Structure 1
Amino acid sequence: MTTPTTTTAQAPVPAPRTPAPANALTGKRRVAFASFVDENYLPGFLALLRSLALSNPGVCEDFIVLHDGLRPASVAQIRALHPRIDFRRVDAEHYDSYAKGDQDNYLVRKAYFILDVFRVRDYDTVITLDTDMVVLGDLGELLQLRDGLAAVPQFFYGQHKLNSGLLVIQREYLSDEFCAKIDEVGRAGTYELDKHDQGILNAVLDGDFVQLDARYNFVKRRLSGDLPVPDTTAILHFTGRHKPWQGGEAGYGQAEDRWREFELPDAEFHAAYLALPGTKHHDLLVHYGTPHVRRTADPESARRVAAAHIAAGEYQEAADLLGAVRIPVDDAWPHEVLGHALMSVSRYEEARAQLLLATAAPNRAATSFARLAQIAWIHGDDATAAAYAIEGLGVDPTHRANRLMYKRTKDVSTPVEGPAAEQLAHVAFYMDRQGNAGDKLLPESVRLAFGQDTGPARWHSIHAHRLFDEAALERVNARRGLVIGGGGLFIPDTAPNGNSGWQWNVPDELLERIDVPVMVYAVGFNAFDGQAYGHGRDRFLSSLRKLVERASFFGLRNHGSIEKVRELLPPSLHDKVRFQPCPTTVTRQLVRGWTDPAQRENTVLINAAYDRSGLRFGHDYKHFLAEMATAVKELGKRAEVKCVAHSLDDERIAFDLRREHGISLPVIPMYDFGCDEIRSTYARTKLVIGMRGHAGMIPFGCGTPIISLISHPKMAYFLSDIDRPEWGISVHDRHLGARLVERAAGLLDDHAATVADVHGRQQELWKVTEANAADLRVIQGGALI
């Protein structure tokens, strides 16, 4: 253990703030649709929901149903058609004080209830749809809108007035101030009374709205004379008294035929959705596909739904659904998906059987062999893993997973280790060549926190993703202790297993039999905004609790993770969870003989991450890319801007900037670097703008200023811990480009002071690390390694 140079007491750190909700930390926009629904308009709303799903199968946002009372059967019908319904009862009496053209007409009274949408406070963007609409085309453009209040101008009244059937409302209008303006006009009656809610909005806005193309609210009056609906129509609006579900109106037959396309029984609707080509949203596919599979027992439908579960980390759900269906022996793809699900919940023998069946089909064989190789490797059988990988490469020589497994297992050399009694065992994610650069550096950084010898003489390596079996237990119990970490090991979908529910594949009964000190060091709770543990939550909670109970030291790398983990533990265990910064953040203190660069290269390095892109960017990737293009152009006037790729996928920003904006960025392939080269590259640059956690923590640890592109809560957690939240900008920020340039300029203009600030912030983390080192030394009986 590194000898402390200042104090052995737990050093004071800034009081941790209770983490805000994840979307508040990442800035990710919360988007919802909304409609006012009553019993009379229920048939129209059900058709609207079906049309939205069939026309936009990849879109599933929350849907707010405003109502003044719905029958239970109606509620059930609505829920059956959408997995994310949020019923909210309107304050009907609030609108009785409004001046109206006909106070006694119940339809007139209800026409104002949609205005309750402006009282919504928990979304950033709300898209309202009248219940006499059907969606016929792509709504992607509406979901990407970020400014103002958008609507289509009225058909008969020119460009000054909007049609309120479709509104795209941004957060600045979802406010008490705007509601007060609506109330003032409504109560005064200073609007077109016969236009109801639409009249009030036009009086309040006075033409100040973002004008959308008519295809987003294409009123049926444009089709008088039984004209066909134009192919470009995205939303068809059946304005007027006569609604299609009430018999319709003469002269609009072709328009009403389009509405009747969505008047489907549930079984036909589910089948129609599953038959659509292209990408489907997980929530919709599961919501419609599950009853369809139960009704039909169709193995292909079951495969698709199970694959959606797997993509979301819902492995047990996938195994349960597909395992209940009879799969023909020669139907390879469902066998492969079921094998994937079964291995992800550690039902390895059953998984092998399914995957072996799948290898018979040439188009599924390579992937199936790769999974068989992975199962063998998990069990410590490198020879069998290599043999399966070779078979997979024989089917497809370009198959990346088989190639990586073959390289991992061929000619495996066992390092010469020192005496077991003088070693620590180390459970970590040991990254393959061309793997994530941050994960590659982590094991060595953790070991440096315990001493300068990071090799096999003092350390016994245990890959977290391999099954921790009796032989592994025996090897651990022969050592001086067990270190687990660092990195974001608490995440459900990286190396899934049914033994622990997190990255270390350890059964509870073996964890309980470890009889040497267990030290959890700088681990992070790495779940994304919107990511959950599904049916594996109980398994994870049980494993986590046993780990905390068993651990002599349990240190998490940020206070955000501490709060998240404490929420999952009984109060009696809360005090065992303590702060231990990631050792990469104190690199300058850990690396023997470290010297800061006498002169830095005039470069700015940019890193962007693309794993789980939907969780990172939502609907805002196009916006993010355009804003980054602006920033790169401006920063390029001050320094050479380069892309630093922690993994192969990180190079995408360079490709996309060139294709979409004509900007060329040199790429630094950090995934090919060794630990010294990673540290040296980050130490020599002037500024790092990074989206990955270790694209912030590693350069910070090397003394280099950083700006974090926040798409994951952990980025905000780290900046909060060092009391520099201003060093982070959400990837969803409306003015990302300008703010990024402004903050980068501030750091670069007074670079020496900024570097000194980084050093000062780092020193606070080092004090915590040293204090923890003293406790760890006591745990190990005072011996150093």
Structure 2
Amino acid sequence: MNVWHVYARYYNFGDYALGVGVRNLFLKYYNSEILFKLKDVHSLVFDENTVDQLNSSADMLLVGGGGLIHGFAGDKWMLKIPDRLIPKIRVPLIIYGVGYNQFRGEGDIHPRIVENIRRLQEHCLSFSVRNDGSREELLKLGVDLPEVPDPGFFVDGDYARPPIEGDFVIIQLANDMKHARGFDDESLLSHLSDICRYLLGKGYKIVLCPHVRTDDILGRQLIANMGNPEGLTSWEWFDIIRDECTLKGLSYYKHAKMVIGMRGHAQICPAGMLTPVITLGNHRKHLDLIKKQNLPDHYVEVGDPQLSDKVIMMFNDILANYQSIKDSYGNSLAHLLETSSLFIRNLAEISGKNNLP
């Protein structure tokens, strides 16, 4: 079975990772004999030729996950299928676990995007959104889509431990859209320096895990500001961003003692591998996810004037209750996996494509 898998592949590690989660789920619960052809939603523009190529070479168009519902170009969103071409897609179309990703202060998506989503919903075998409040945001605009767990929860594997001696903590920064995320460099770097000094003083190694190029710039600035202390390092973004290194990157999240993260998939992927997370909130979706899934509430706004003190307090709370917190993650994950498997098996049954053993 040949499947075009369309998702965000524009040099963001979190997006690469959730692509792994989508394929894990569909291989296990939809059809065990899928051959995926990977397509970047940023560069793929559907015109007549693209639709003809899709219809002649693929058995299904699978879109997702990721925060694709974002009005980054006025009246267009990241999936660029014009209304007039939607009826010409003859293969089953599944849009799976995508997110409503408007940042604070951006307002709602354009009415033309809403209309395009409605038309796609009518044509799709299934159109679902991820479990981070996206459904509720779209309901406000009159669009009712089913909700599924973010596929980033399902990226676990038998990953070898990265070459780091002793316990280590990941710090994952976000350094784009600063006007919407609610922080300034000087204040954030000061708090992070305090956090790093505390962790290093307790004997932990620290690994910075930039997901995009701009994250790496901020992380390098943190290291320089602290005088390049022993035990504080960063993974090599130019290495980790390659497809063949995605699982290598996930191994850091799997084997970390804890994650202190700003991006959504630094919150989701480690939780799916039972690694406790402290979320530095900077987007609506971060807190909505915690509330909806009843995850442990280790959350602080990134612009909080007591950021470092609160993170250190949460760090010690997690250590004091480490196994019970991992058990809580495990209980949540079991429910999320059951929900996902039932949803995808139902899609397979509807489409008649389920040839699982």
- Normalised TM-score (structure 2): 0.87
What is the match of residue 256 of structure 2? 685
Distance (whole Å) between structure 1 residues aligned to residue 90 and residue 254 of structure 2: 41
Root-mean-square deviation (Å)? 2.7
Distance (whole Å) between structure 1 residues aligned to residue 101 and residue 194 of structure 2: 30
What is the match of residue 27 of structure 2? 451
What is the match of residue 472 of structure 1? 50
Alpha-carbon deviations, 1:522-558, whole Å to 9, x = none? 101111101136xx71321221111222222222112
SS of the residue corresponding to residue 504 of structure 1 reads coil
SS of the residue corresponding to residue 52 of structure 2 reads helix
Distance (whole Å) between structure 1 residues aligned to residue 353 and residue 226 of structure 2: 59
What is the match of residue 436 of structure 1? 12
| Amino acid across the alignment from 1:560 | G
1:675 is aligned, of 246, 263, 269, to: 246
What is the match of residue 512 of structure 1? 87
Matches within 5 A, 1:89-488: 422-431=1-10, 435-451=11-27, 458-465=35-42, 466-478=44-56, 479-488=58-67
1:607 paired to 2:154: no
| Amino acid across the alignment from 1:480 | D
Q: CA deviation at 1:683?
A: 1.0
| Amino acid across the alignment from 2:328 | D
Alpha-carbon deviations, 1:642-694, whole Å to 9, x = none? 21111221123334334555564311124522121012111111111110111
| Amino acid across the alignment from 2:111 | D
Choose between structure 1 and 2 for higher RCO, CA contacts under 8 A separated by at least 6 residues: 2
| Amino acid across the alignment from 1:681 | Y
What is the match of residue 709 of structure 1? 280
Distance (whole Å) between structure 1 residues aligned to residue 289 and residue 270 of structure 2: 13
Alpha-carbon deviations, 1:365-423, whole Å to 9, x = none? xxxxxxxxxxxxxxxxxxxxxxxxxxxxxxxxxxxxxxxxxxxxxxxxxxxxxxxxx22
Distance (whole Å) between structure 1 residues aligned to residue 274 and residue 169 of structure 2: 14
2:212 is aligned, of 647, 670, 683, to: 647
Q: 1:770 to 1:584 in 2, by over 3 A?
A: same
Matches within 5 A, 1:704-783: 704-724=275-295, 726-783=297-354
| Amino acid across the alignment from 2:14 | G
| Amino acid across the alignment from 2:188 | F
Distance (whole Å) between structure 2 residues aligned to residue 719 and residue 668 of structure 1: 27
SS of the residue corresponding to residue 128 of structure 2 reads strand
Distance (whole Å) between structure 1 residues aligned to residue 318 and residue 99 of structure 2: 28
Distance (whole Å) between structure 2 residues aligned to residue 743 and residue 718 of structure 1: 18
Distance (whole Å) between structure 1 residues aligned to residue 201 and residue 18 of structure 2: 34
Distance (whole Å) between structure 1 residues aligned to residue 306 and residue 111 of structure 2: 41
| Amino acid across the alignment from 1:529 | R
Q: 1:464 to 1:630 in 2, by over 3 A?
A: same
1:624 paired to 2:197: no
1:585 is aligned, of 153, 165, 177, to: 153
1:492 paired to 2:56: no
Matches within 5 A, 1:548-559: 548-559=121-132
| Amino acid across the alignment from 2:64 | G
What is the match of residue 197 of structure 2? 633
Distance (whole Å) between structure 2 residues aligned to residue 463 and residue 454 of structure 1: 22
Distance (whole Å) between structure 1 residues aligned to residue 135 and residue 233 of structure 2: 38
SS of the residue corresponding to residue 707 of structure 1 reads strand
Distance (whole Å) between structure 2 residues aligned to residue 671 and residue 553 of structure 1: 35
Q: 1:775 to 1:643 in 2, by over 3 A?
A: same
Out of 538-547 and 455-464, give the one that drifted further. 455-464
Q: Say whether the 8 Å CA contact 1:480–1:780 is kept in structure 2.
A: no
- Normalised TM-score (structure 1): 0.41
| Amino acid across the alignment from 2:84 | E
Q: Say whether the 8 Å CA contact 1:451–1:784 is kept in structure 2.
A: no
Q: CA deviation at 1:428?
A: 1.6
SS of the residue corresponding to residue 628 of structure 1 reads helix
Q: Say whether the 8 Å CA contact 2:71–2:77 is kept in structure 1.
A: yes
SS of the residue corresponding to residue 107 of structure 2 reads coil
Q: Say whether the 8 Å CA contact 2:295–2:328 is kept in structure 1.
A: no
SS of the residue corresponding to residue 666 of structure 1 reads strand
Q: CA deviation at 1:473?
A: 1.4
Distance (whole Å) between structure 2 residues aligned to residue 444 and residue 455 of structure 1: 15
SS of the residue corresponding to residue 294 of structure 2 reads coil
1:527 paired to 2:95: no
| Amino acid across the alignment from 2:191 | E
Gap regions ≥5 residues in structure 2: none
Identity %: 26
SS of the residue corresponding to residue 105 of structure 2 reads coil
Aligned length: 344
Distance (whole Å) between structure 2 residues aligned to residue 737 and residue 616 of structure 1: 17
Distance (whole Å) between structure 1 residues aligned to residue 52 and residue 148 of structure 2: 28
Q: 1:780 to 1:596 in 2, by over 3 A?
A: farther
Distance (whole Å) between structure 2 residues aligned to residue 559 and residue 696 of structure 1: 11
Q: CA deviation at 1:733?
A: 1.7
| Amino acid across the alignment from 1:696 | Q
Gap regions ≥5 residues in structure 1: 1-421
| Amino acid across the alignment from 1:648 | R
Distance (whole Å) between structure 2 residues aligned to residue 455 and residue 430 of structure 1: 24
Q: CA deviation at 1:603?
A: 0.4
Q: 1:454 to 1:773 in 2, by over 3 A?
A: closer
What is the match of residue 567 of structure 1? 140
Distance (whole Å) between structure 2 residues aligned to residue 436 and residue 680 of structure 1: 17
